Amino acid sequence: MTVSAAAVTDERLLIKRAQDGDRGAFADLVRQHRTGVVNVIYRMCGDAALAEDAAQECFIRAWEHLHRYRPRSAFRNWLYRIATNCALTELRRAKTEVDADDVQLRDERQGPEARLEQLERAAAVQSAVLSLPEASRSALVLREYEGLSYRDIAETLGIPVGTVMSRLNYARRLLRSALAEYMEVAS
């Protein structure tokens, strides 16, 4: 995931203005990172409505503690760390379970059988991801769905890179076992 230097500079300017109390600049940051934050929380908890609420809570916490953010780490990583914590807090509070009806189809042109099959696969994938231990799930979501590098995941979760690798390997091993029937290549 490459971020251009101009985009980074723009973001730093927005962060600086937001740190000085500019709510408009913070709203721009919210718009930029909203999709990523909602997705991280959604992948962690599997509930779209809950994810949207938790994402708002995440941005409010970010605003309240924005003066503590230092540009030596990526703003996205700092935000995703808050998002991960918000997701875990919501999970412990709600203990939600995956609802297959929430899983939306990507290609509406498919026939009913193919749609049903894809729906089933999507539900199985989501269920398998949600059944992972929280620590491994966080690493997997940030890698597979958000495309973060090992170093960024380590910074986001506050763990060493070696631990990121072992958590990812563990998550993938569990997923390959849980989703064996949906995989084309047998391991």
Partner 1 sequence: MNHVVKQLPAYHDGELGARAAQAVEAHLAQCEACRIELASLADLSTLLQVADPAPLGLSDDVFAAQVALRLPRDEVQTVSERTLAWSWRLAPVGIVVTWAFVQTTAIVALVVQLLMAAGMGNPALLALVASGPSLREPSANLANQLLGSVGLSDAWGTLQPVISSTWALLVPVLFSGLTAVAILSWVAVWWSSHLSSPVHSGQIG
Residues 20-79 that bind partner 1 (CB under 8 A): 20-21, 23, 26-28, 30-31, 34-35, 38-39, 41-43, 48-49, 51-52, 55-56, 59-65, 67-68, 78
CA angle 44, 47, 48 (to 5 degrees): 105
Task: Write out the E strands in 37-178.
Answer: none
Query: Measured from the CB of residue 42, what is the shortest distance to partner 1 in angstroms?
Result: 3
Q: Closer to partner 1 at the Cβ: 12 or 42?
A: 42
Pick from 19, 25, 74, 115: which binds partner 1 (CB under 8 A)?
19
Q: Closest CB to partner 1 among 5 and 70? A: 70
Shortest approach of partner 1 to residue 12 CB, angstroms? 17
Which amino acid belongs to residue 168? Answer: L
Residues 128-167 touching partner 1, rule: CB under 8 A, are: 129, 133-135, 138, 143-145, 149-150, 157-159, 165
169 binds partner 1 (CB under 8 A): yes
For partner 1, give the closer residue by CB, 5 or 31. Answer: 31
Question: From the CA atom positions of the chain, what is the Rg in Å?
Answer: 18
Q: Give dist(CA 102, CA 89) in Å, integer.
A: 21
Maximum CA extent, the chain = 55
List the structure tokens of 104.
């939306």
CA atoms of 136 and 170, how far apart (whole Å): 7
Q: How far is the CB of 31 from partner 1 (least distance, A)?
A: 4
Q: Please give the residues from 81 up to 120 whose contact with partner 1 meets the rule CB under 8 A.
A: 81-82, 84-86, 88-89, 102-106, 118
SS3 22: coil
181 in Cβ contact with 170 (< 8 Å): no
Q: Which is nearer to partner 1, 8 or 90 (by Cβ)?
A: 90
What secondary structure, in 3-state letters, does 64-95 show? HCHHHCCCCCCHHHHHHHHHHHHHHHHHHHHC
Stretch of residues binding partner 1 (CB under 8 A), selected from 8-16, 108-116, 172-180: 172-180
